[in-house]
Amino acid sequence: MQVFVTPRAERNFDSIITYIQTKWGDKTAKQFILKTDEILKLLKKYPTMGQIESRDIRGFQLSPQTRMLYRIRDEKIIILSFFSVRTDPNNKFS
């Protein structure tokens, strides 16, 4: 399976990294990036490991504060969004 990241998810991820760097420094941001990369590798092997959020959208908790949403289409995993679970849970796709 291949992993594709939507432009929205890229922007979300970049914002989260910037926030982590500002709040906790470069080392913590790098650890978060490495952890995310490991999760993406796991998703390639086990694409259904995330919890079903709604119909064909799955979610995975990357950290206590951050969740990732994705969809499986054909032989592709499409990352839709990264978001903070501390913000409005109804605003997952912004």
Structural domains of the chain, count? 1
Residue 94 lies in a domain: no
Please give the backbone phi and psi of residue 27, each rounded to the nearest 5 degrees, phi first: -60, -45
In this prediction the pTM is: 0.85
User: How far apart (Å, rounded) are the C-alpha atoms in residues 46 and 20?
Assistant: 28
Q: What is the C-alpha separation between 82 and 8, in angstroms, rounded? A: 9
- Domain assignment present for residue 54? The answer is yes
**Residue of 62, 55, 56 whose CA lies nearest to 35:** 62
- Quote the domain boundaries for residue 73: 2-84
CATH number of domain containing 79: 3.30.2310.20
In a domain, 50, yes or no: yes
For residue range 3-12, list pLDDT tens digits in order. Answer: 999 999 999 9
pLDDT digits (tens, 9 = 90+) for 34-76: 999 999 999 999 999 999 988 899 999 998 889 999 999 999 9
